[in-house]
A and B are shown apart, each in its own frame.
Chain A
Amino acid sequence: MAFTFAPFSYMLALLLTAVLIFFTIWHIIAFDELKTDYRNPIYQCNTLNPIVLPEYLIHAFFCVMFLCAAEWLTLGLRMPLLAYHIWRYMSRPVMSGPGLYDPTTIMNADILAYCQKEGSCKLAFYLLAFFYYLYGMIYVLVSS
């Protein structure tokens, strides 16, 4: 029947997830470049830091959207990542600007490995989410 809020939020999520996937791939490439000495960590951190908050906000926006659309299952699936984001941002190093990455510590092998792992996990999560939204959108459209 009508085009309700639920399918709309799925469609929007679909689009924005594509953006998130792009961000994540950007991260992965950036860390890989750091690992292989292609880039200056200062430069790299300066490019990465500005896109951290947008990513987190987009994701938080999803949660709000699905909350409004009363898609509880989807919301439940998203909550852990939201919690992770909040924790991650709370425990960031002392910085005056937005962002997470400190050029003086990023080259530490542990931190670099952690960031790389985080990037690939997120990529997997977003990809799955992308297809889930696709499925969810069609399901909602068909069922309504």
Chain B
Amino acid sequence: MQVPSGYGVHPQNYIPPSGHYPQGPGKMTSLPLDSQCGDYYSGLYTVPTQNVVTSNTANQQPGAQHMYGRGPPAPHIVGSTPGSFQGAASSTSHLHTSASQPYSPFVNHYSSPAMYSANSSVASQGFPSTCGHYAMSTVSNAAYPSVSYPSLPAGDPYGQQMFTSQNAPTVRPVRDNSFSGHSTAIGHPSPLPPPPSHQYHQQQSLSGCSTLSWSTSGLPSTQDNLVRNHTGTLATASSNPTNTVADSLSCPVTQNVQPLKSSPVVPTVLPGASSTRTPPAANRPVEPVASVTQPSELLQQKGVDSSSTTSSASPVPNSYDALEGGSYPDMLSSSASSPAPDPAPEPDPAPAPAPSAPQPSKMAKPFGYGYPALQPGYQNATAPLNSAVPPSSPGYSGFQPYAQYPGMNQLSSSLGGLSLQSSPQPESLRPVNLTQERNILPMTPVWAPVPNLNLDLRKLNCSPDSFRCTLTNIPQTQALLNKAKLPLGLLLHPFRDLTQLPVITSNTIVRCRSCRTYINPFVSFIDQRRWKCNLCYRVNDVPEEFMYNPLTRSYGEPHKRPEVQNSTVEFIASSDYMLRPPQPAVYLFVLDVSHNAVEAGYLTILCQSLLENLDKLPGDSRTRIGFMTFDSTIHFYNLQEGLSQPQMLIVSDIDDVFLPTPDSLLVNLYESKELIKDLLNALPNMFTNTRETHSALGPALQAAFKLMSPTGGRVSVFQTQLPSLGAGLLQSREDPNQRSSTKVVQHLGPATDFYKKLALDCSGQQTAVDLFLLSSQYSDLASLACISKYSAGCIYYYPSFHYTHNPSQAEKLQKDLKRYLTRKIGFEAVMRIRCTKGLSMHTFHGNFFVRSTDLLSLANISPDAGFAVQLSIEENLTDTSLVCFQTALLYTSSKGERRIRVHTLCLPVVSSLADVYAGVDVQAAVCLLANMAVDRSISSSLSDARDALVNAVVDSLSAYGSTVSNLQHSALIAPSSLKLFPLYVLALLKQKAFRTGTSTRLDDRVYAMCQIKCQPLVHLMKMIHPNLYRIDRLTDEGAIHVNDRVVPQPPLQKLSAEKLTREGAFLMDCGSVFYIWIGKSCDNNFIEDVLGYPNFASIPQKMTHLPELDTLSSERARSFITWLRDNRPLSPILHVVKDESPAKTEFFQHLIEDRTEAAFSYYEFLLHIQQQICK
């Protein structure tokens, strides 16, 4: 009990944090905007970017609150004839290249939401309040974000939506209508005012009451297709078990739609309330279906839920106060500092007008199906609970001490941590004598430790793939942390491709009023009406619309809403979260065409990849694309629609770069597709005879910045040599004689701040620069990388690239490009990381610009970007037993939707050193140390960084030895949780980034450092400590089944030559490279069956593919390799290494447990550590 009281105190104290959000941002954000306007080029730009401009205006007039796209349709609606809808639809429909037909099934259900909204808009004048409820949630959307476009997962997840199919005919028009908003903007200037995205219209239209159109808004065409397919599959799937249900389902839905449609007026009549109810009723059948099917069939499924909420949401439509979590929080929120602004989002004012209405409205929401979205695991768990427990008890009930009120969660939270003390984990604390233990590496992959929480919290917790902490038991005080000598920090992979993700469409995104935390599974409900923030302990009101739980179709169970049942959710954000209309996807390619580049031949591969993937580039109908090439001059390409062929414009004044024409350099992908294809076909041969050896990279980047600054987007730069002209020119700094020096490694930092400054400018204009460096000579990556580092881009490096001489690099480029071009992308993103009061962010690692103490500005976010954060404990955590971390990533999807992805991680607090050691996540700790070591080697020196790494091991083990373990000090003892620590640190010391004594080119080293900084943990671990498998005796024992393929799971071998027998064949997985090492006396059967050669001698030196042979062992080997390859961003290239070939040094340098001339073996390293400890 004392705990709660302790909490009570906090709310008052905690005011300060709230303060900062408002102001800071305001200024910051204003910068970019201002500059944009100020830029003298901007004038020119207005013309080219019609879409943008319009959107801007829209933005500026938020107060006006009209509905752009919607305005026209609205009148039609009033007419209330479906025909009118059709008309609108037809005008827009052709915009979509994909026929509208396909959508139909899918559309229906959307349509219903759309219709509602439309109705509401009309009706709203009379009864604003009513319109709110209609907002549908878009179920389908939910699924979409998580999936990467190119390869959608099986249809199962989407199954829920199918029921809509029947409605299709009626619906379609509506949907199109909504669509038209954004599609028109691009394709057809004329018909409707182009709303950049419908999100805009929603809230603003109509006084006070927001229409909930979102639901319809964002569906990308591709998505639709998906959905369609899925629906099909789903139908079949679900049909068996629940045929009847399904039927009932579809029927009700149609009913709902129909009535509403036919009588738009419904809302106006208060009875509307009752009428509105009917729809939910109809939907209800659906939900059960979904829930039923999920557990059985759709394991992966995630649902979507959509709860829409209502009108009240934006009484103050245009104030950006609420924006904060998201991107430009600061700027907008200046007013936010005072609580006043925040309330805006809250329902208070709005609900008031129609008190009676709100409740019905909630019930009325159609969303029902959305909810099934919950992860199956949760569903299973919650379902029984629901039935067993009275409605009032939340999902949490499991861990709640008191069943009656959800509010008790706070207690539960305190209890969560308690369980720890009572049950210490013997396994993770089991002392291991490192010098005695010969096989320290487990046979199976190392998994992230599970935080010692009670079962319910554990189930709700964020996946370790997205969010990991180096210490899963957070020490109570900084003193305790200092004693443990372990790094405390978070490893994030926030935009990972997810197969399931609940997407929430809601008018009100519920957040803490003081710290702006998003509501999450770890908040506590004090009673039905109030919840206590788990980060700042402020007590907040539960908004009216949040009281309705569409999942259970009951009122007054806020704790069962998906936001509170999932620690990873995605919200569709309202216009409150925008500073400007969501930008379109804009891609600019800046290509080096100097002699060196043409010689290397990358243009052919790039253009080929682009041609193949042009249609798969993420984006919507507004997508724009542009090309620039440069050598000693800069070439622009006019691709304006209507030209007979691309027009090349050359700017030779590189000292003062200007854009030769204000528009038509970035063109709409769909309108100018033919020209683009022409250009891509012509490019590889355009410069074949060039004599130009200079490279004016700096001016080209400046031009790219000017070109991109009105919209933002992604710039992909291909560079093949040291920039030698104009601003940003670089000198060679590498002394080849120093490559293997054991002393000082210089020039790890940038030589000039030109690229950094430019990157900051780009970042301010929401432009990210991705660098592809394909060079055979030193190119000063340390300087060039800055352009990507601070603009949130990514870096690819292909040393000694040549399209014929080095086919493996060429193949790698090809595969990387495929992934690069087709992967998901988020634009104009910001990420905010919040943590429980008492903890604070110390340092961030990754590619971004830190805009304030907890806000990262990311011009682009890619699914392959990882981040690390160091934490410090500023205040003792004695009065809490749980701490939480929340990252909120606000971004614009390639479909022009503003979305917020929220991850919440909950960890227990412990007060004893033993518990701290018990909870170490050694992989996370090593990755965080690697990040810190990179910083150290740049700011100080490489040897300092190496010393710091060794000291990290020495300190932590000696601290453990002297405080926790009671064993004699002569042996080197580590807790089981840390037993791999020395091995991983040794691996780090032998990693390219940090090794000394072995010849390492400066660019290679710098690239390794860049990767350490921006790779997510899973990939980074493979880079640091590769996995070694023996593959000549693969068996099906312990094999797993993936997509009907049997994937053998050979045990991990330790990275030592002692494991390599001459009779065997081994596969080493280094993350971006696979090596297959073939022993000299390897079984000829294996060589023949898998490699396709009769014997060892006939295997060629350079072999990069396994032939597809129809033998069992070949099949096993290939399915294993394919399985390893899946799910990683950089598709690895395969090298077959013969025991005698010169390439084997590459392979052997990864055997980190062995001794090399310059470095310890693992055993020597242990002795060294022991010696240091005893000193």
Which residues of A come within 8 Å of B, CB atoms? 33-43, 93-96, 102-104, 107-110
A37 touches B852 (CB 8 A): yes
- B16, B753, B843: the one contacting A95 at CB < 8 Å is B753
Question: B31 contacts A110, CB within 8 Å?
Answer: no
6 contacts between A and B (CB under 8 A): A96-B753, A102-B753, A104-B849, A104-B850, A109-B840, A110-B842
B842 adjacent to A43 (CB under 8 Å) = no
Rounded to whole Å, the gap between the CB of B859 and the closest CB of chain A is: 14
Residues of A within 8 A of B852 (CB): 34, 37, 40-41, 107
Q: Is the CB of A37 within 8 A of B853?
A: yes
Cβ of B752 < 8 Å from any Cβ of A?
yes
Q: Does B673 have its Cβ within 8 Å of any Cβ on chain A?
A: no
For B851, list chain A residues within 8 Å (CB): 40-41, 107
CA gap between A7 and B187 in the complex, in Å:
78
Closest 6 CB pairs of A and B: A40-B28, A37-B20, A37-B24, A37-B852, A107-B850, A109-B842
Determine the residue in chain B with the shortest Cβ distance to A40: B28
- Among A33, A37, A41, A94, point to the contact of B750 (Cβ < 8 A): A94
- Residues on A with C-beta less than 8 A from B176 are none
Chain B residues, CB < 8 A from A93: 753
A94, B31: Cβ atoms closer than 8 Å: no
Known: A36-B24, A40-B851. 14 other contacts (CB 8 A): A34-B852, A37-B24, A37-B853, A38-B20, A38-B24, A40-B29, A40-B330, A40-B852, A41-B850, A93-B753, A103-B760, A104-B756, A107-B852, A109-B872
B23 within 8 A of A: yes
| Residues in B whose Cβ lies below 8 Å from that of A40 | 24, 27-29, 31, 330, 851-852
Is B149 in the interface zone, CB < 8 Å from A? no
- Considering the chains assembled together, what is the distance between the CA atoms of A83 and B778 in angstroms? 38
CA–CA, A38 and B756, complex, Å: 23
Give Cα A103 to B19, complex, Å: 22
Nearest Cβ in chain A — how far from B623, in angstroms? 30
Decide if A43 touches B872 in the complex (CB within 8 Å). Answer: no
Please state if A38 and B23 are interface contacts (CB–CB under 8 Å): yes
Interface of B is mostly: mixed
Interface residues of B (CB under 8 A from A): 16, 19-21, 23-25, 27-29, 31, 330, 749-754, 756-757, 760, 764, 790, 840-844, 849-855, 870, 872
Q: Which of A37, A94, A95 contacts B330 (CB 8 A)?
A: A37
Tell me how far the C-beta of B940 lies from the nearest C-beta in chain A, rounded to whole angstroms. Answer: 11
Q: Which of B330, B749, B753, B854 has the most CB of A within 10 A?
A: B753
Query: Which residues on A sit within 8 Å (CB–CB) of B840?
Result: 109
Give every chain A residue within 8 A of B790 (Cβ-Cβ). 104
Say whether A37 contacts B855, CB under 8 Å: yes
B757 touches A96 (CB 8 A): yes
By a CB distance below 8 angstroms, the chain B residues around A108 are 842-843, 850
List residues of chain A with CB within 8 A of the CB of B750.
94
Q: Within the assembled complex, what's the spacing in Å between the Cα atoms of A17 and B102?
A: 76
A interface majority secondary structure: loop
B764 to chain A, nearest CB (A): 7
Do the beta carbons of A37 and B21 come within 8 Å of each other?
yes
Contact between B31 and A36, CB atoms less than 8 A apart: no
Among B790, B852, B855, residue most surrounded by chain A Cβ atoms (within 10 Å): B852
Q: How far is the CA of A97 from the CA of B465 in the complex (A)?
A: 42
With contacts A38-B24, A39-B24, A42-B31 known, is A104 near B760, CB below 8 A?
yes
CB of A57, distance to nearest CB on chain B (Å)? 22
Q: Which residue of B lies closest to A46 (CB)?
A: B31
Q: Which residues of chain A are near B855, meaning CB under 8 Å? A: 37
- Bound: A114/B792 CA distance, A: 26
A residues in contact with B28, CB < 8 Å: 39-40, 42-43
Contacts of A41 in B (CB 8 A): 850-852
The closest CB in chain A to the CB of B852 belongs to: A37
* Shortest Cβ distance from residue A114 to the other chain B in the assembled complex, whole angstroms: 12
Least CB distance from A136 to B in Å reads 40
Closest A residue by C-beta to B853: A37
Complex Cα spacing A109 to B23, Å: 20
Q: Least Cβ distance of A80 to chain B in Å?
A: 24
Please name the residue on chain B nearest to A104 by beta carbon: B790
Q: A37-B330, A94-B750, A94-B751 are in contact. Are A42 and B764 (CB under 8 A)?
A: yes
Query: Chain A residues near B870 (CB, 8 Å)?
Result: 109
On chain B, the residues within 8 Å of A42 by CB distance are 28, 31, 760, 764
One of B20, B752, B753 near A36 (C-beta < 8 A): B20
Q: Which residues of A contact B25 (CB under 8 A)?
A: 37
- Which chain A residues border B872 with CB–CB below 8 Å? 109
In whole angstroms, what is the CA distance A94 to B23 when docked? Answer: 30
Of the candidates B23, B756, B853, the one whose C-beta lies within 8 Å of that of A35 is B853
Q: Residue on B with the closest CB to A103?
A: B760
Residues on the B chain within 8 Å of A34, using CB: 852-853
CA of A110 to CA of B841, assembled, Å: 11
| Chain A residue with Cβ nearest B334 | A38
A110: chain B residues within 8 A (beta carbon) = 842-843
Output the least CB separation between A87 and chain B (Å). Answer: 15
| A37, B516: Cα distance in complex, Å | 14
Given known pairs A37-B21, A96-B752, A103-B760, the reply for A109 and B27 (CB within 8 Å) is: no
Instruction: Give Cα distance in the complex from A38 to B21, angstroms.
Output: 8
Complex interface: chain A residues within 8 A of B31 (CB): 40, 42-43
Closest to A96 in B: B753
Q: State whether A96 touches B754 (Cβ < 8 A).
A: yes
CA distance A93 to B756 in the complex (A): 12
- Chain A residues closer than 8 Å to B751, beta-carbon distance: 94
Residues of A within 8 A of B850 (CB): 41, 104, 107-108
The residue that B749 contacts in the complex, of A38, A94, A96, with Cβ under 8 A, is A94
B754 to chain A, nearest CB (A): 7
Q: How far is the CA of A94 from the CA of B330 in the complex (A)?
A: 29
What residues on A are CB-neighbors of B27 within 8 Å?
Answer: 38-40, 43
Instruction: Tell me the complex Cα distance, A38–B749, Å.
Output: 30
The answer for the CA separation of A33 and B23 in the assembled complex, in Å, is: 10
Nearest chain A CB to B758's CB is how many angstroms away? 11
The CA of A42 and the CA of B24, in the complex, are separated in Å by 12
A35 vs B753: C-alpha distance when bound (angstroms): 24
Q: Please, which residue of chain A has its CB at the minimum distance from the CB of B786?
A: A104
Instruction: Tell me, rounded to whole Å, the shortest Cβ–Cβ distance linking A72 to chain B.
Output: 37
Closest to B789 in A: A104
Write the chain A residue with the least CB distance to B857: A40
- Residues in A with CB closer than 8 Å to B29 are 40
Chain A residues within an 8 Å CB radius of B853:
34-37, 107, 109
Complex Cα spacing A102 to B750, Å = 13
CA distance A10 to B27 in the complex (A): 41
A40, A107, A109 — most chain B CB neighbours (10 Å) = A40
Q: Tell me how far the C-beta of B321 lies from the nearest C-beta in chain A, rounded to whole angstroms.
A: 15
How many Å from the CB of B903 to the closest CB on chain A?
21
CA–CA, A116 to B19, complex, Å? 20
Instruction: Please give me the residue from chain A that is nearest to B935 by CB atom.
Output: A108
Q: A109's closest neighbor in chain B, by CB?
A: B842
Contacting residues, chain A, for B330 (C-beta < 8 A): 37, 40
> With the chains together, A33 CA to B855 CA distance in Å?
15
Residues in A with CB closer than 8 Å to B21 are 37
Complex Cα distance A59/B754, Å? Answer: 30
User: Assuming the A-B contacts A37-B855, A107-B853, A109-B843, are A94 and B24 also in contact, with contact meaning beta carbons closer than 8 angstroms in the complex?
Assistant: no
Query: Is the Cβ of B23 less than 8 Å from the Cβ of A37?
Result: yes
Q: In the complex the two chains form, what is the Cα distance from A43 to B330 in whole Å?
A: 14
| B19 close to A36 (CB less than 8 A) | yes
Residues of B within 8 A of A109 (CB): 840-843, 853, 870, 872
The smallest beta-carbon distance between A50 and chain B, in angstroms, is 15
| Bound complex: CA A35 to CA B841 (Å) | 11
Which residues of chain A have C-beta atoms less than 8 A from B753's C-beta?
Answer: 93-96, 102
CB B680 to nearest CB in A, in angstroms, measures: 36
Residue of A nearest to B751 (CB): A94
* B764 partner residues in chain A, CB cutoff 8 A: 42
In the bound complex, CA of A35 to CA of B851 (Å): 11
CA distance A96 to B23 in the complex (A): 30
Per the bound structure, the CA–CA distance linking A107 and B857 in Å amounts to 13
Chain B residues, Cβ within 8 Å of A35: 853
Please give, as numbers and ranges, the residues of chain A lying within 8 Å of B841 by CB-CB distance: 109
